[in-house]
Amino acid sequence: RAASPPSPLWALPEELLLLICSYLDAQALGRLAQVCRRLRFLSSRDVLWRRIARGCLNSGFTQLGTDFLMPWMELDGEYLYLSQAENIQAYHLCAEGTGLQRHPQAIFSGHQEDVCRFVLVNSHIVSGGGDGSIVLHKIHGSYSVKFSAHEQEVNCVDFQGGLIVSGSRDRTAKVWSLSAGRVGQCLHTVQTEDRVWSIAISPLLSSFVTGTACCGHTSPLRIWDLESGQLLTCLGTDFHRGAGVLDVFYETPSLLLSCGYDTYIRYWDIRTSTRKCVQEWEEPHDSALYCIRSDKNHMIASGSSYYGVVRLWDKRQTRCLQSFHLSSPTSSPVYCLRFSTTHLYAALASALHVLDFTAS
């Protein structure tokens, strides 16, 4: 019996097939995946499910009249910078840090989709967005630069010494130049073979660390040479599959904090060992940890994935020092937190909370 002629469907370019599939809902995509292997591969592409996922996740869209966001923020003197959907807004802090002015002093835009992460360094804002681009703004002026950086979301960015490092869902980390005449030029592309959730440049400007989703067989914490892009070392040996690292923070060139899905805060001293952290603290309610921050002394603050729980830790103790429940009964992760000697700011899905440590 003669073989059946190939379907005219497969003569179409992949871009057109994806466009056709983009009109399908979740149920139709699931049924399409059961037809054959080729359609299963096609229907599983992230670009098709991203729109559907946004209807279920807190990612800057309005549901039942409530704005849900995945915010990030930075503190800079008298101002707090907060990402809201595709914009970054600068709010003036009220006297003694008791709150924010109602209306933003400035708005920085440029992304076509939500801002995932941004950093504030030397009067510059560098942001990565869901549109795969990186945007550079000069705070005091109209100067801004935007360039296409990754094929998928830019989940994390850092900026030091005239260099940007970025990490993406497309399983790469990249190093970008901001020197005169080379702005937006990619210097290195690192194949991480896993989605990159967090990234940070060492204070010595010699290396950077990536925190990945831990879906493969390699450590989710790896340090790369900033000049060559080569792998320098892996941190840890006993991570469980799926124990992705959601936030990293350098205290010094050799001291590093990390946290993520496995519910632990880990403290690494690269001078002593890269195989095992020197100290660790477990989130007592078995919640993923979305963010951490340190005063670079004894105090650590962490944000949990359920009910807006912020915990304060003292490195000299094994248990949590104090905890605050900021989101009840509605649950929300603490997406980002920043603190000073007097106040702590925590960004949740639909609100920014301020804790005043000076109040009795």
| Rounded-to-10 torsion of CA 319, 238, 233, 74 | -40
Q: Which residue positions in the chain have pLDDT lower than 50?
A: 57-68
Reported as a single tens digit per residue, the pLDDT across 180-223 is: 788 889 999 999 999 999 999 999 999 999 999 998 888 999 99
> Cα(301)–Cα(59) distance, rounded to whole angstroms?
24
Quickly count: other Cβ atoms within 10 Å of residue 56's Cβ.
10
Domains of the chain: 8-58 (1.20.1280.50), 70-191 (2.130.10.10)
C-beta separation of 280 from 307 below 8 A: no
pLDDT at res. 78: 86
Token couple for 162: 């005239």
The span from the CA of 195 to the CA of 51, in Å, is 19
Give the model confidence (pLDDT) of 139-187 as tens digits.
987 788 999 999 999 999 999 999 999 999 999 999 999 887 888 899 9
Fill in the DSSP letter of residue 8.
Answer: G
Instruction: Tell me how far CA of residue 119 lies from CA of 82, 139, 343, 360, in angstroms.
Output: 11, 12, 20, 33
Q: What is the DSSP letter of 100?
A: B
In whole angstroms, what is the distance from residue 213 CA to residue 354 CA?
30
The whole-number pLDDT of residue 304 equals 95
Rounded CA separation 35/56 (Å): 26
Instruction: For the chain, give the number of residues.
Output: 360
pLDDT score recorded for residue 100: 75
Q: pLDDT at position 176, please?
A: 96
Tokens 């920014």 map to which residue? Answer: 352
pTM beyond 0.75: the answer is yes
- DSSP 8-state secondary structure symbol assigned to residue 198: E
Q: What's the token pair of residue 281?
A: 């603290």
Q: Is 342 left (phi over 0), alpha (psi -120 to 50) or beta?
A: alpha
What does each C-alpha distance from 285 to 141, 257, 308, 323, 336 come to in angstroms?
Answer: 46, 20, 12, 11, 19
Angle at 297 between CA 78 and CA 356, to 5 degrees: 40
Euclidean distance between the first and final Cα of the chain, in Å? 87
Dihedrals φ, ψ of 143, to 5°? -70, 130
Cβ neighbourhood burial of 335 (10 Å; 0-12, 13-18, 19+) = buried
Q: What type of residue is 276? A: K
